[in-house]
A and B are shown apart, each in its own frame.
Chain A
Amino acid sequence: SAVISQKPSRDICQRGTSLTIQCQVDSQVTMMFWYRQQPGQSLTLIATANQGSEATYESGFVIDKFPISRPNLTFSTLTVSNMSPEDSSIYLCSVEKGAGRGYEQYFGPGTRLTVT
């Protein structure tokens, strides 16, 4: 398994500002993932962060809006830039553990962001 912590757990931010969310894992992992869960919606993958390379973004998400860092095998950050109220969501990081089919992703507790 994996124990994942996120900071901050929640924040209220003004539009136009940026927030950086930190994700720390208790063991080394190759891939980390960032998800967004908007109110009443499913979890949507924002990007995959592989240590030592640029993050890969899903359709609808761009690096300028959601820059990601992955400086080592246990840590990653996601920045939500130039925020608007539409960015109000829960942001979660996750990691994969294991190999082959049958492994699952472990999720952090999430960061609840409210943009006013």
Chain B
Amino acid sequence: DQQVKQNSPSLSVQEGRISILNCDYTNSMFDYFLWYKKYPAEGPTFLISISSIKDKNEDGRFTVFLNKSAKHLSLHIVPSQPGDSAVYFCAASARSNFGNEKLTFGTGTRLTIIP
């Protein structure tokens, strides 16, 4: 049962244009959402997050949008740069019994920025 889904395994975008990565979730208990970026042979690195009480969070070129009613979030990167080429993972969180964030990850979208 895949609770967090990234239906596009890959995406190619021209440099300078907007990249939009999508993520859907099914568990209404998720109340915190994160995007991670992963380069080959490296661990995922945190990019941006959003709480379920918000519908938008912006950090420089990166903006995450959350539509709770549709259980959908998206990551916008604008303008896209060659260094943005990586695999992007969407993750959703609900508090565990221990109080820590328990992350559920999507399968990732490989973004390729074309110079």
Within 8 A of A (CB), among B97-115: 98, 100-108
Q: Are B43 and A42 in contact (CB under 8 A)?
A: no
Chain B 43-81 near chain A by CB (<8 Å), digits 1 or 0: 111100101000000000000000000000000000000
> Closest Cβ of chain B: how far from A70's Cβ, in Å?
14
Interface size on B, as a range, is 20 to 34
Q: Inside 8 A of B4's CB, which chain A residues have their CB?
A: 42
A106 contacts across to B, CB distance below 8 A: 43, 45-46
B34 & A31 in contact (Cβ 8 Å cutoff): no
Instruction: Please report the number of residue pairs spanning A and B whose Cβ atoms sit closer than 8 angstroms.
Output: 58
Interface residue count on the A side (C-beta < 8 Å): 25
A107 within 8 A of B: yes
CB within 8 Å of B: which residues of A? 4, 9, 31, 40-45, 48, 50, 56, 92, 94, 96, 101-110
7 A-B pairs closest in CB distance: A107-B43, A104-B46, A42-B105, A43-B105, A42-B107, A107-B44, A109-B43
